A = this chain, B = another copy of it.
């Protein structure tokens, strides 16, 4: 179970994996872990039998549970893929049910608040490692799960001084075997980065979509569609993300508003040179990302 090779030979990293919350992300983890034989079996924890039946039918889990206790007691690895406002309480609740040595991780888009709350309350012999795969979609549900969702995507792990080094290594190996590139950051650095790369874009896409009058809908072409695509994301997932990362999102919003001020002033002053400089810098930074 400890052997870990990157030459694509079959390697079983954990015996029993439990996924709490089998939607797009959790379902994709289950599909990929099963296809790659990284675990012997996958248990899924969901809110309803119907949801678990869909996860099972999609091939994401072997067995479904509507209560987490029974599942986590048999698990070596537990991955929480619930909305960010349910992760810390969920991890803390199952922490005391786990066998010694069990590793728990999560896939939440925010980290500081979650990691802080969990580290205050975990039993000593159960190891939590914060995580966030930078993959996803504006779509939801196990029906959109994708066995290749994490391939060549980054997964950020957010260890702290209290993180168990062995557990960190195993979680890192797990993600690498799912195809991801792994990097580690402090939870607060992760949150500040995501505020700019993910949470602000979501807020702005929503605001742009929000100012389009219904009667102009037919004139919105591919540029508008691309720019607002992520606004279709589920508000029940995004409200707690923006809320949990409130301070960093406010800083990011301030930075954006200052840049919009520069555009506004250039327009007010009919200053084409400044307009052009602003657009040049945006293009330079966007081009650097590649397509």
Contact = CB atoms under 8 A, between A and B. Distances in A.
A282 interface: yes
Contact of A272 (B239, B252, B281): B239
Interface centre among A136, A209, A213 (most CB of B within 10 A): A209
A202 B226 CA distance: 11
B212 A208 contact: no
A289 to B, nearest CB: 6
Interface string A202-246: 111111111111101111111111111111111110111011001
Contacts of A136: 221-223
| Main DSSP-derived SS at the A contact region | helix
B283 A235 contact: yes
Contacts of A259: 207, 210-211
Contact of A211 (B135, B196, B228, B272): B196
A260 interface: yes
B228 A216 contact: no
A286 to B, nearest CB: 4
Contact of A223 (B230, B256, B260): B230
A231 B263 CA distance: 14
Contacts of A203: 260, 263
A257 B256 contact: no
Contacts of A4: none
Contact of A243 (B236, B270, B287): B270
B227 A282 contact: no
A48 interface: no
A217 B263 contact: no
Contacts of A216: 193, 196-197
B267 A250 contact: yes
A239 B197 contact: no
A228 B249 contact: no
B229 A201 contact: no
A154 interface: yes
Interface string A2-19: 000000000000000000
Contacts of A220: 197, 289
Given A229-B286, A243-B267, 8 more contacts: A156-B219, A209-B282, A210-B281, A223-B229, A231-B286, A233-B283, A236-B276, A242-B275
